[in-house]
Amino acid sequence: MISVGIIGGSGYTGKKLVQFCNSHPFVAELKVYGNSTAGQNLYDLFPEFNNIVNNSIINSIDNLSEHDVYFIALPHGEALKIVPQLINKGKKVIDLGGDYRLDSKDEYELWYGKKHTSPELLNSKIYGLADYQRLDYSTTDLIANPGCYPTATILSLLPFVDSFVDDILTVSTVAYSGTSGAGKSPKQELLMSEMHGNVSAYSLNKHRHQPEILQMLRTFEFDSPFSFSTHLLPIAVGIYATTSIHLKNIISENEIIGKYKSFYSNSPFVRIREVPPQLNWVVDTNFCDINISVKDKVLIITSAIDNLIKGASGQAIQNMNILFGWDETLSLLNNGVKNVSVY
């Protein structure tokens, strides 16, 4: 049994972590830490947790207790202030933010506009794409949990890049997110009156998830042109990614689907679908649903996830399960996720 600290447990992804940890069979103790909400009662913030979560005090991030594992669900830059001291104490850390995802300090400073103060951890961390079964977690105490768009995009591309990287001419991903992807702090452009009935692209050619996706693809010697465009949908939860790949040669759809099924044969949370997935099939779950469609030399891959679960907290719990050598589905299947439908 372990003790867990959720730093940023008062935010959107933190709330999901509380929910999953609370129903986890090996989590004996759970403490929530917040910033502006420190000292408040969790039930005041999330009344849904009344009679469900026992320990309801939100503790201050400045006064961390001893835990076996810490989830960090803070805005980028904030993990840099906390993670090194936890790692030095020999603790396990799973960071949901972007501070440790990129391998290069220079890339981090370029894309995040901040100085990286613990670059040595960029090399020792594992980029925790949990459904990529070839990762070895025994070498690290720090898991950098992938971003939401990268999870949907990379999972949908990896098997193809793994088998057919030399057949690729260009890759173009067009992705869509619900507004919870931006966290809980108020922003004018996310008001109902701005969003309702509206769609727009944003951060074109400068989204921080682009280098994260490319970093992973490059480990498969991918070096083709790649474009990544992100859009905001007037929905609360979900990521939908549609990727078009132009090929040098014709490859049969059956051959590609066969590679995907084999690549994910041991991944309980990836489902290869016969038709393009719908967000409704994955919202409130830790699944990533993928469909493959080929005509002539054009391959179109669609994928869908819940950004707060598979794209953040669900994957983080899956990573904790793997880190401790438990069944990776613990607390993520049949755990009553839909009983507390919140984001």
Ligand X SMILES: NC(=O)c1ccc[n+]([C@@H]2O[C@H](COP(=O)([O-])OP(=O)(O)OC[C@H]3O[C@@H](n4cnc5c(N)ncnc54)[C@H](OP(=O)(O)O)[C@@H]3O)[C@@H](O)[C@H]2O)c1
Shortest Å distance, C-beta 250 to ligand X: 37
In contact, 288 and 269? CB cutoff 8 Å = yes
Judged by beta carbon, residue 302 or residue 307, the one nearer ligand X is 307
| Torsion angle, alpha carbons of 117, 123, 124, 129, to 10 | 110
| Torsion angle, alpha carbons of 55, 60, 61, 66, to 10 | -50
Shortest Å distance, C-beta 144 to ligand X: 11
Shortest Å distance, C-beta 205 to ligand X: 19
Q: How far apart are CA 304 and CA 224, in angstroms?
A: 24
Catalytic residue, candidates 148, 232, 245, 308: 148
Judged by beta carbon, residue 169 or residue 342, the one nearer ligand X is 342
Judged by beta carbon, residue 11 or residue 211, the one nearer ligand X is 11
Shortest Å distance, C-beta 184 to ligand X: 4
Judged by beta carbon, residue 96 or residue 161, the one nearer ligand X is 96
Summarize as ranges the residues that interact with ligand X (CB under 6 A). Answer: 8, 10-14, 34-37, 61, 73-76, 78, 96-98, 147-148, 180-181, 183-185, 307-308, 311-312
Q: How far apart are CA 126 and CA 339, in angstroms?
A: 32
**Catalytic (active site) residue 148:** yes
In contact, 91 and 69? CB cutoff 8 Å = yes
In the sheet with 288-295, reading across from the earlier edge strand, the strands are: 200-202, 226-232, 168-177, 239-247, 298-305, 288-295, 270-273
Shortest Å distance, C-beta 315 to ligand X: 9
Judged by beta carbon, residue 180 or residue 285, the one nearer ligand X is 180
Shortest Å distance, C-beta 311 to ligand X: 5
Judged by beta carbon, residue 49 or residue 260, the one nearer ligand X is 49
What 8-state DSSP symbol labels residue 326? S
Angle, helices 148-164/209-218, rounded to nearest 10 degrees: 20
DSSP letters along 138-185, please?
GG-SEEEPPPHHHHHHHHHHHHHHHHHGGGEEEEEEEEEE-GGGG-SS
Judged by beta carbon, residue 12 or residue 287, the one nearer ligand X is 12
φ, ψ of residue 48 in degrees (nearest 5): -60, -25
* Nearest residue to ligand X, scored by beta-carbon proximity: 11
DSSP letters along 146-157, please?
PPHHHHHHHHHH
Shortest Å distance, C-beta 170 to ligand X: 27
Please give the structure tokens belonging to residue 239: 């990521």
What secondary structure, in 3-state letters, does 82-139 show?
Answer: CHHHHHHCCCEEEECCCCCCCCCHHHHHHHHCCCCCCCHHHHHCEECCCCCCCCCHHH
Residues that are catalytic? 148
